[in-house]
């Protein structure tokens, strides 16, 4: 078994590009080798700002011999009336390199046809890899790629070398004017000269000596340990956390941590601003005293070894001092005005060209709050309205202009400093939540009210003017915002009818809509249903989700309760009986006439018995349904199985007499309605 060592060396790749690129490379290589029938061992990836690569053990020397099938023309056009082969079959046989008499007649994908069997000898692995690796390097995905020179090829950054070895032998191919070879390079400044390698063991050892820590996890461990040690030395703890450690690990090839300081006077600025100045702009690690109080110290992780660390530290301190001075100036300028002063400028800021200004959006948000508060908490309306008036004001502050990540957080800080109620300033910060799939939700009813109103206005507005997500394109993050609404409705048990809320949202946007409101409402309902399916796909079986949604999707806590009840009911023996009864009803109920049941039209005892049992079950199941005891409701409906079976055995539903026929269909319609209170059993897999 052979070892493949592959490395693409280039100029510094943005930190956020590295991990997605390595994952994609691993997946594409595995798919390519599988398609070629090449079994292999584990694919191990490695990456730094200047290199992306992988090591693969266990490649066979060659492909296994294989038998290939090729389906040809249908039998009826292969031979004439005398049984002689036609030109069609002769051409097929010639193309496959076999004789006509060696073709077999089989059932193919499109009916009975001829088939050629060919024995294909496996090719040597070294002959296959040039094309595989050439394809791999050409299809590494990046959010943005670039061209350089006069080359047609593109990559995240210009490529300078390609290392490609199979058991020490070069796998030859060419990309962007670079020939693959057996050389790698070390740290750009500390060890820039190229060096040859034979295998992965030598490769990793020589890179370590050339100031390159190839393994990203090891770089993270070194940074983490250094931050802990240096923060302890400064009398505190590092507070930026794992996200920054992960990012910095992809900014350096060989971490060189050092401890710096800044003037205590900057601590008069809110800590969030200082932390953001250090982390977002400089990728420095702040330190606090362990109780949340920021210390005038920081940790810098450099990528370049220096003889005198103090020189490098002083340089970073000068850079940070300038950043903090700017932040202090912006903060002081902001404090000369109130959030209400900033909010006055929202009428001059466009939210979206077709949807108007941020001031108009705020007014729509307030309309949503008035609509939603009766479903949530009436006394949350007043603080929510106040929060809405100034929730977007911090977008016009100097600090948020410089540090966009602080939107919402600066609104909270300024609102608290201005003496607003806790419910108000907490809602301002939290109304942007959840910012991503696993982010925490707003913590209060007031904050949830504001968050849901803001998100629904954005979603409905974008759909109303044709800005609908497609494929991976979702520039307004509508999928994430819809997921946030669903999570809040479910987590906090808000019983807001989604269909009514959608209709209200569109009525608030009447003057802005460029599409038919009814069509938009349908699209929005489908969009939310699709997000719900996606959200729950790992928690429940697909057929259970489809069955519950088939019976209606409106009040989310009820949908959740029905789904849980149905999932529990599916474990019971009675489940199949109820599903079978429902399917028998629905199979014949294609068209349902209007009207009421007339017992005088019953001609069979089975009809009377079913009508009687239905009324008994309806009363029991109906009460359980009204009390959201859906499992009890389902268990009560099981009593309908026997009379339903007897009805279909003894009664001809489609009687010639129209009155009798309609009466029976109306009875079945009542049964269907009872079942559909919980789920559409047609969508459940019972086999």
Looking at residue 169, its pLDDT comes to: 96
Strands 350-352 and 356-357: antiparallel
CA dihedral 613, 616, 618, 624 (to 10 degrees): -130
For residues 492-505, one letter each, b for 16 or more C-beta atoms within 10 angstroms of the residue's C-beta and e for the rest, the string is bebebebeebbbbb
Q: 350 forms bridges with which residues in the sheet?
A: 357
Looking at residue 228, its pLDDT comes to: 95
In the 8-state DSSP scheme, what is residue 473?
Answer: B
Q: Give the integer Cα–Cα distance in Å for 176 and 118.
A: 38
Q: Give the integer Cα–Cα distance in Å for 485 and 477.
A: 13
Please return the burial class of 653, using the count of CB atoms within 10 Å of its CB with bins 0-12, 13-18 and 19+: middle
Residues in CB range of 525: below 8 A, 6 or more apart: 498, 499, 502, 553
pLDDT at 431 over 80: yes
Alpha helices in 210-347 (DSSP H): 216-233, 242-249, 271-276, 309-334, 339-343
Q: Kindly report whether the peptide bond that precedes residue 465 is cis, defined as omega within 30 degrees of 0.
A: no
Q: Give the integer Cα–Cα distance in Å for 628 and 376.
A: 19
Q: Which pLDDT band holds residue 418 (cuts at 50, 70, 90)?
A: very high
Q: Give the integer Cα–Cα distance in Å for 86 and 79.
A: 5
pLDDT at 350 over 80: yes
Distance spanning both ends of the chain, measured CA to CA: 45
Q: 299 forms bridges with which residues in the sheet?
A: 259, 285
Give the relative orientation of helices 574-588 and 658-676 as an angle to the nearest 10 degrees.
140
Looking at residue 265, its pLDDT comes to: 95
**For the residues of 137-160, what is the DSSP string, one character each?**
HHT---SS-B--TT-S--BSS-EE
Average pLDDT of span 352-381: 96
Candidate ranges 94-98, 203-207, 632-636, 644-648; pick with highest mean pLDDT:
203-207
Tokens read off for 433: 């939540």
In the 8-state DSSP scheme, what is residue 146?
Answer: B
- Cβ pair 230, 297 in contact under 8 A: no
Average pLDDT of span 412-434: 97
Looking at residue 304, its pLDDT comes to: 85
pLDDT at 68 over 90: no
- Cβ pair 409, 272 in contact under 8 A: yes
User: Which has the higher per-residue pLDDT, 572 or 557?
Assistant: 557
Mean pLDDT of the chain: 93
- Cβ pair 53, 21 in contact under 8 A: no
pLDDT at 109 over 90: no
pLDDT at 256 over 90: yes
pLDDT at 16 over 90: yes
Q: How many CB atoms lie within 10 A of CB 318?
A: 11
Tokens read off for 402: 């410089």
Q: Give the integer Cα–Cα distance in Å for 258 and 241.
A: 17
Q: Give the integer Cα–Cα distance in Å for 442 and 121.
A: 63
Alpha helices in 143-215 (DSSP H): 200-209
- CA 353 to chain centroid, in Å, comes to 27
Residues in CB range of 364: below 8 A, 6 or more apart: 457, 461, 508, 509
Q: Give the integer Cα–Cα distance in Å for 230 and 215.
A: 23
Looking at residue 416, its pLDDT comes to: 97
Q: Which pLDDT band holds residue 164 (cuts at 50, 70, 90)?
A: very high
Please return the burial class of 596, using the count of CB atoms within 10 Å of its CB with bins 0-12, 13-18 and 19+: exposed
C-alpha distances in Å from residue 67, one per residue of 99, 100, 121, 484:
17, 18, 9, 52
300-331 pLDDT, tens per residue?
A: 999 988 888 899 999 999 999 999 999 999 99
CA atoms within 13 A on the CB side of 299: 30
**For the residues of 45-106, what is the DSSP string, one character each?**
EEEETTEEEEEEEEE-SBPPPEEEEEEEEEGGGTB-TTSPBPHHHHHHHHHHTS-GGG-EEE
613-640 pLDDT, tens per residue?
A: 999 999 999 899 889 999 999 999 989 8
Tokens read off for 349: 């800021």
Looking at residue 11, its pLDDT comes to: 96
Element (H, E) at 576: helix 574-588
Candidate ranges 297-306, 345-354, 562-571; pick with highest mean pLDDT:
345-354
Instruction: Using only the alpha carbons of the chain, give its radius of gyration.
Output: 34
Phi, psi of 322 (to 5 degrees): -65, -40
Q: Which pLDDT band holds residue 186 (cuts at 50, 70, 90)?
A: very high
Strands 169-170 and 159-166: antiparallel
584-621 pLDDT, tens per residue?
A: 888 777 777 888 888 988 988 998 999 999 999 999 99
Q: Give the integer Cα–Cα distance in Å for 26 and 55.
A: 10
Looking at residue 276, its pLDDT comes to: 92
Q: Give the integer Cα–Cα distance in Å for 59 and 165.
A: 12
Q: How many CB atoms lie within 10 A of CB 581?
A: 24
pLDDT at 684 over 90: no
- CA 452 to chain centroid, in Å, comes to 20
pLDDT at 145 over 80: yes
Looking at residue 473, its pLDDT comes to: 84
Q: Which has the closest alpha carbon to 556: 605, 621, 601, 500? A: 500
pLDDT at 512 over 70: yes
Q: Give the integer Cα–Cα distance in Å for 42 and 30.
A: 10
Q: Which pLDDT band holds residue 293 (cuts at 50, 70, 90)?
A: very high
pLDDT at 686 over 70: no
Element (H, E) at 426: helix 422-430
Q: Which pLDDT band holds residue 365 (cuts at 50, 70, 90)?
A: very high
439-470 pLDDT, tens per residue?
A: 999 999 999 999 999 999 999 999 999 999 98
In the 8-state DSSP scheme, what is residue 31?
Answer: H
Tokens read off for 651: 């009664």
Q: Which has the closest alpha carbon to 279: 314, 312, 251, 309? A: 251
Q: Give the integer Cα–Cα distance in Å for 94 and 296.
A: 82
- CA 54 to chain centroid, in Å, comes to 26
In the 8-state DSSP scheme, what is residue 470?
Answer: B
User: What is the value of pTM for the model shown?
Assistant: 0.79
221-239 pLDDT, tens per residue?
A: 999 999 999 999 999 999 9
pLDDT at 105 over 80: yes
Q: Which pLDDT band holds residue 687 (cuts at 50, 70, 90)?
A: low
């Amino acid at each position: 078994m052979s070892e493949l060592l592959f490395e693409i060396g280039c100029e510094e790749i943005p930190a956020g590009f590295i991990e997605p690129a390595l994952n994609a490379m691993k997946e594409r290589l595995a798919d390519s080798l599988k398609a070629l029938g090449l079994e292999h061992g584990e694919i191990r990836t490695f990456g730094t700002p200047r290199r992306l690569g992988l090591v693969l053990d266990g490649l066979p020397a060659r492909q296994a011999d294989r038998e290939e099938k090729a389906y040809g023309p249908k039998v009826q056009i292969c031979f004439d009336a005398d049984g002689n082969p036609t030109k069609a079959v002769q051409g097929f046989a010639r193309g496959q390199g076999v004789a006509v008499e060696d073709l077999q007649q089989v059932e193919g994908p499109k009916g009975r046809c001829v088939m050629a069997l060919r024995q294909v000898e496996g090719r040597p692995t070294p002959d296959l890899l040039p094309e595989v690796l050439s394809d791999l390097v050409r299809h590494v995905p990046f959010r943005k790629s670039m061209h350089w020179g006069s080359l047609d090829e593109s990559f995240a950054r210009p490529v300078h070398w390609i290392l490609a070895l199979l058991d020490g032998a070069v796998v030859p191919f060419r990309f962007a004017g670079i020939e693959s070879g057996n050389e790698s390079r070390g740290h750009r400044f500390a060890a820039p000269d190229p060096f040859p390698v034979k295998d992965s063991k030598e490769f990793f050892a020589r890179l370590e000596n050339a100031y390159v820590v190839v393994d990203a996890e090891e770089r993270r461990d070194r940074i983490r340990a250094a931050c802990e040690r240096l923060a302890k030395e400064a009398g505190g703890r590092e507070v930026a956390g794992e996200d920054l450690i992960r990012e910095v690990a992809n900014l350096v090839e060989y971490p060189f941590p050092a401890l710096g300081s800044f003037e205590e006077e900057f601590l008069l600025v809110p800590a969030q601003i200082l932390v953001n100045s250090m982390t977002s702009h400089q990728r420095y690690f702040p330190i606090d005293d362990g109780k949340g109080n920021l210390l005038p110290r920081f940790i810098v992780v450099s990528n370049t070894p220096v003889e005198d660390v103090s020189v490098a530290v002083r340089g970073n301190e000068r850079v940070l001092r300038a950043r903090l001075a700017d932040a202090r100036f912006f903060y002081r300028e902001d404090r000369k005005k109130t959030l209400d002063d900033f909010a006055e400028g929202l009428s001059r800021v466009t939210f979206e060209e077709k949807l108007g200004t941020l001031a108009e959006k705020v007014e729509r948000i307030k309309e949503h709050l008035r609509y939603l508060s009766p479903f949530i908490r009436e006394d949350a309306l007043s603080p929510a309205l106040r929060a809405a008036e100034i929730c977007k004001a911090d977008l016009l502050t100097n600090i948020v202009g410089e540090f966009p990540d602080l939107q919402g957080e600066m609104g909270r800080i300024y609102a608290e400093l201005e003496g607003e109620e806790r419910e108000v300033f907490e809602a301002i910060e939290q109304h942007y939540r959840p910012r991503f799939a696993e982010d925490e939700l707003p913590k209060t009813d007031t904050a949830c009210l504001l968050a849901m109103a803001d998100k629904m206005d954005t979603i409905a507005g974008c759909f109303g003017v044709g800005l609908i997500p497609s494929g991976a394109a979702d520039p307004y993050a509508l999928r994430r915002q819809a997921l946030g609404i669903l999570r809040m409705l479910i987590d906090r048990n808000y019983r807001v009818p989604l269909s009514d809320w959608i209709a209200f949202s569109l009525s608030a946007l009447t003057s802005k809509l460029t599409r038919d409101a009814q069509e938009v409402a349908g699209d929005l309902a489908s969009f939310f249903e699709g997000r719900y399916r996606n959200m729950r796909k790992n928690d429940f079986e697909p057929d259970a989700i489809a069955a519950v949604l088939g019976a209606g999707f409106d009040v989310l806590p009820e949908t959740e309760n029905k789904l849980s009840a149905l999932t529990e009911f599916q474990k019971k023996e009675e489940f199949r009986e109820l599903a079978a009864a429902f399917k028998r009803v629905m199979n014949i109920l294609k068209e349902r006439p209007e009207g009421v049941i007339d017992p005088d039209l019953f001609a069979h005892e089975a009809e009377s018995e079913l009508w009687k049992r239905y009324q008994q079950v309806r009363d029991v199941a109906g009460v359980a349904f009204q009390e959201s005891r859906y499992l009890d409701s389902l268990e009560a409906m099981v009593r309908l199985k026997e009379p339903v079976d007897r009805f279909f055995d003894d009664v001809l539903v489609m009687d010639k007499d129209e009155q009798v026929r309609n009466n029976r269909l109306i009875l079945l319609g009542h049964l269907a309605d009872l079942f559909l209170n919980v789920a559409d059993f047609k969508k459940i897999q019972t086999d």
